[in-house]
Each structure stands twice: as C-alpha cells, then as structure tokens.
Amino acid sequence: MSAKILYGKEFAAKIKESARLEVDDLKNNFGVTPGLAVIIVGENPASQVYVRNKHKTCEELGIKSEVIAMPATSTKEDLLSKIDELNAADDIHGILVQLPLPDAIKAHSEEILNRIDPLKDVDGFHPVNVGKLVTGSPALVPCTPAGCLEMLDLADIDGKRAVIIGRSNIVGKPMLHLLMARHATVTVCHSHTKNLADVTREAEILVAAMGKPKFVTADMIRQGAVVVDVGINRIEPKKLVGDVDFDAAVEVASAITPVPGGVGLLTVAMLMKNVVKATKLQLKVKT
C-alpha cells in the first residue's frame, strides 16, 4: 500500500481563496481593509525570507501589509512603544513580531509578545488567546496547528484516536486542544515519554512536531494512520527533511504530509485567515 500524499500547496490554495473571499466581503460590506503589521528586528536571513513571504501573500489577497524593520540594536522599550502604537492604529488588525529576536533582547520575548493587544495577536501566542483556546471560546490560534486542522477538515479526515509527539506552546499544546475540540482522544508525548512507539502505534492521526530528522520510523506507525509531519530539519545546506522517515512511512500510512511541500505551506495561508478573523473580532462581526 502507498499512502495518499497530502500536498500543502493544494490545501493552502483553498485556505487562501477562502481568506480572499472574506477580505472582499469586509471591504465591500464594512468598508474595512484588513491590515497586518510585521515587526522584524535585525537581519536574520531566514526571518527576512519568512517576512517577505508573508508580505507577498498579504498583497496577493488584498490585505494591507506593513513591514516594520527595526535595527538589531533596538531595545525592549523601542519594541514595546512600537507595539503600543500599532495596538492603537485603526488600520492595523493584526500584529506579529517575527521570532527569534536578537540575542540582546531575546530574554524579553515573552514580555514583548504579551504587549500585543490579544484581539490583534495573529500568532495566537498571548495568554488570553491560549486561555480562550483551552476553554473553547473564539480565539486566535497559532497558525501551524490551526493550518493542520484546516487540512484535516478539507481532506475529510476524521480519526478519533490522535497522538502528538512534541509539547511546545507553538505546535504540540495548541494541537492537543484543537484535536480534542474535534472529539479526538489525544495523547501528547514528549522527550520524557517512555516506550514512545507503543503510544504512537495507537494513533489514527499521528502528529510529529519534535524537530528530530526522520525520527518517526515505519514501526512507530499504525497501519492506515494519517501522519502529519510538522518537523522542518535542515540536514544539508539545501536539504530539508521532516520528523518522519517519509519513504518508509508512506508504505504504512493511509495519508501523509511531505517535507518540504506539506505543513510548512499551510502556516502562511492560515496567518491570512487569522488576520481576517482578528479584523472580524475587532469589528464584532461573526467569525
């Protein structure tokens, strides 16, 4: 058996198209153009690529995009006052601080992110949004796990026994709540989990988000499982692989996301949906 490949491009196109329709609706019926501000501090080349990509996707969908490039020497106070300004700006509905911050202010990342108005927090990292996700209120949810869930919905995948490997705030923990809200029974594994393979073999939906190249081997996967590989690992200057040994897993799974070309593409598409959602929450329009 060979698994169906869940190509991110296909799902990202659908997510973006749905965001575009909502942007048009906000413009035509409310006279509002959703606006995203991305703050980038310093000159990290990978961050510059990510920010350019976000800017380009906004333009594609008719979302106003403002990139605020701040010097690497910026202080915590510089960032906090820029965020205060954006929190008060009527034409900005989403604010994102590109991570990682330069070493000199890295230790203040949490304080800086928490200064963003929760209604404009399109990364979904603010404790208010985390709390809302946990309690099941309308929230801005981190883009990568939200994109994975959108993909499962679009592909009509309905596993009720799910296992997540990784418990980060960005991927693993939000994924737990999203899958649970979808009525799955979910186990979250992490670096201290004993007999990992015994747990992962229970999964109808297996999500790998650990950052360990090709760690998940075929014997860790239940026959016919759906495998969502969130990992992005650079093993050679020009070679990316996921957390799953794709070539072996494809023979066991019923569906699997490739790396590259899988989950990574969903993240930016979902950011666009979050900008639209943030705009609607601020206008008090039903999301």
- Interaction pattern, residues 130-159, with ligand NAD; x per rule: CB under 6 A: --------------x---------------
**Could you say whether residue 168 binds ligand NAD (CB under 6 A)?**
yes
Query: Residue 100: is the preceding peptide bond cis (ω within 30°)?
Result: yes
Among 170, 178, 221, 225, binds ligand NAD (CB under 6 A): 170
Q: Which residue is nearest to ligand NAD (CB)?
A: 168
Q: Note if 282 is an active site residue.
A: no
**Could you say whether residue 217 binds ligand NAD (CB under 6 A)?**
no
Candidate list 54, 173, 273, 280, residue with the active-site label: 54
Q: Note if 198 is an active site residue.
A: no
Comparing CB distances to ligand NAD, the nearer of 65 and 144 is 144
Tell me, letter by letter, the H, E, C secondary structure of 151-182: HHHHCCCCCCEEEEECCCCCCHHHHHHHHHHC
Distance CA 121, CA 279 (A): 11
Residue whose C-alpha is closest to residue 125's, from 56, 174, 75: 174
**Binding region for ligand NAD (CB under 6 A) out of 60-68, 96-104, 118-126, 230-238:** 230-238
Contact 171, 142 (CB under 8 A): yes
Q: Note if 98 is an active site residue.
A: yes
Give the pairing type, strands 233-236 and 239-241. Answer: antiparallel
Who's near 105: CB < 8 A, 6+ residues apart?
41, 74, 75, 76, 79, 112
Interface with ligand NAD by CB under 6 A: which residues?
A: 144, 165-168, 170-172, 189-191, 193, 196, 209-212, 230-233, 263-264, 267
- Catalytic (active-site) positions: 54, 98, 123
